[in-house]
Structure 1
Amino acid sequence: MHRLFAELEPSITVIEQNMADRVWYILRSNTFDVAELERLRRQAVPSSGENATAEDAAPQLAEQTANVDTAVNTPVVVESNDDGTIAQELVLEQMKSTLEEEIVETRPSKSLPSLSKRNRAVVRALNPILVTYLEASRDICETDSILFGTALAVCRIIGAKLSTAGRANGESSAIPAWRIRIEERIAKARALIGRLICFRSGNAGPRIVRTVRMAFAGTNVSLCQPDMMQKLTEYIDDLKQRIAAWGKRIRRYTERSTRFNQNRLFQTDQKRLYKSLERPMVGGTGPAPNQADTVAFWRSLWSEPVNHTGQCMGQ
C-alpha cells in the first residue's frame, strides 16, 4: 500500500507507520462504510494501472496491480492449462487479503515510540539480521517469538520502557482497575476510622490530631466546638456507610463474575463445573450465633444512635 501510494503521489512524503496508523483509524472509526471503501478501492486500482502504463513502470508494479485487482474485484480468468496452479494462486491471494485485514483489525492499541533518526537507523540495522531468522522459521509460533523478541530488542536498544509482565506468563491481571481503586479507598477509610476512634477515646497525639484536622478540612467544624464528639460520631458513621456501599459493589461484581464463569464452564466442561459445585463450603458449618449477640454486634458497628429532635423533624 505504501509503495502504491508513493507511485501515485510522489510529491507527498508519508512513512509506512503513519499510513498504517491512518488506515487503522479509518477502519476503527467507521469513517467510510463497506460500499464506500469498495468504491474508493476500485477507483484507485485502475488509476494506478494507467499511471504505470503512461510512465512505463517496472513489471513488478504491473504484477502488483494485477494482484490487487484479483483480491478486490471479481476473480480474473486466466487462460492456462494448469488449473491447480491457478487455484493455488487464488487461494494464496485470498489468504494474503485475510492476513492483511486481521493485522489491521487486531493491531494492539499501544503507544509507539517516536520515529526519530536514531530509531529508524536501529530498525534498518536489524532488518537484515531479522531476515536470517525468519527464513529459518518453521511455523507461525516461532515467527511470532522472533518478531516479539526483535521488538523487545529494539525497545531495549533505544531505551523505550515496555512492560512484559503479561506476555511473559501468558496471563494478564484479571482484577479490573476500578476494583483496585475501590479497595484502596476502603483501606484508607478504615485507617481514618481507626484514628478518629482513637481521638474520640481521648488519644490527643500529634499525628491523631493532625489526621482529624485533615479529615474536617474545608468545613466549619473546629476541634474546640462543644458538639465535636457528635460531629465526629456522625463522620465515622458516614465513612462506615461508604465502606459498606463500596463493599456491596465489589460483591455484586464478584457474584456476577462467578455466574458468568460458571455458565461458560457449563458450556465447555460440565464435569469440571459439577466437581467445583460439589466442594464443601468453608464457612457456615458452626452453630448459629445468639440473636442478642448478633444485635449487639451490629449496633456496635454503627456506633451510637443519633437522636433527632422534633424541631429538626419538623423542618
Structure 2
Amino acid sequence: MEVSRIGLGCIVLFTELEPSITVTEQNLADRVRYILRSNIFDAAELERLRREAVPSSNENATTEGAVAEQVAEQPAHVDAAVNTPVVADSNDDGTFTQELEIEQMRSTLEEAIMETRSTPLENRPRLPRIALSKRNRAVVRALNPMLVTYLEASRDLCETDSILFGAALAVCRIIGAKLSTAGRTTGQSSAIPAWRTRIEERIAKARALIGRLICFRSGNTRPRIVRTVRMAFAGTNVSLSQPDIMQKLTERIDDLKQRIAAWGKRIRRYTERSTRFNQNRLFQSDQKRLYKSLERPMVSGTGPVPNQADTVAFWRGLWSEPVNHNEGPWMEVVASQCASITPMDPVTITPDDVAEAVHRPRTGKVRDSTGCITTG
C-alpha cells in the first residue's frame, strides 16, 4: 500500500512533466522501489506525494488546491526533489515554512561569507567533521544553488576560497555543529593526543591520592584527608578502624605506584615508536636533514666574539707555562710500575699529513666551512 500510494503520486507528477512518455505499471513499481531505497526525497516530499495521491476523507477541494498552489510556488533555484531539511507539520503551511527556512539559510550563508572574507586565514575556526545523514546532505544540497551567484562574481582564488569556507561554516551553523574557537595552527601541529592527555590526568590524580594516603598514614586525620582515604577504599571491605589499616594503606600506595609506572611506560613506548617512525621516514626522504637532527645542538654564546690574539694568549697561558703539581704518594707507585715500559717515539704531525688525511674523507665526513686547515 505504501509503494502504491507513493507510486501514484510520482506517476501523476511524471505525467504532468512528460505527457508524451507512457509509463507501465511494472516500470512504475520499479521506480518507486528505487526511490524508496535511494532516499531521493525527504520526509516532507514523500508526505506531500501521499496527500496528492490519496487524499484523506477530511480534506476538501480547497486543501487540494492549496497543496497544488504550494507546489507551484516553490522557489525555482531549489530542486523539487531536494527540499529543506525542516519537515513541516501537515496542518501548517509547508511552503511558507520552507521559504522561511530558505531565507534563514541564505542569511546565514551571507553572514558566514562576509565574516570569512574579513578574517585572516590563521584566525579562522577549525571546522569539525560532519556526520553523513539525510538532514546534513539536504542542507548542503539546498545551499549549493545559492553559491552560484557568489562564485560567478569571484575575482581570484583567495576570494573563491573564502566563499567555499564560508559555505562550510554556514552548514556547520545551520545543523548546530560545535565549532572550535581556537584558530588554525600554522606549521607542524604540537597538540598532545587525547589518549595521552587522559593518561597524564590519571597519573596526576594517582599521585595526588598517594600524597594524601601518605599523610593519613603519618597521622594526619583532617576531614578532607579522611574523606579521600575512604573514597580510595570505596567498594572494598576495608575499614579505617580495622587493626591492619596501615598495611592496607601501604598496599594501596604500592598498587597506585605500579599503575603510574605502567602508564608512564605506555607513554614512553608511544614516544619511542613515534620517534622511530619519523626518523625512518626522514631517512627515506632527506638523509642530510636526519643526520643534522641527530647531532647535538651547538651552544652559541651571547657575548662578543674573541679575536685571534686573545684566543692564542689564553691557550698559550694554559699549555706553554710550566706548572708544578703537588702529586700524592700514589704517583710514585704508578711511576715505579711503569718504569719498565718503553716510551713511545714522539709523533710529529706536519701540514702534509693533515692534507693527506682530509683529501679523501669517508662517507659522512665533510670539510669545514672554509675548505682549508689553519695552524696557529
What's the TM-score, normalizing by structure 1?
Answer: 0.49
The structure having more radius of gyration, on CA atoms, is 2
**Structure with greater contact order relative to length (CA < 8 Å, sep ≥ 6):** 2
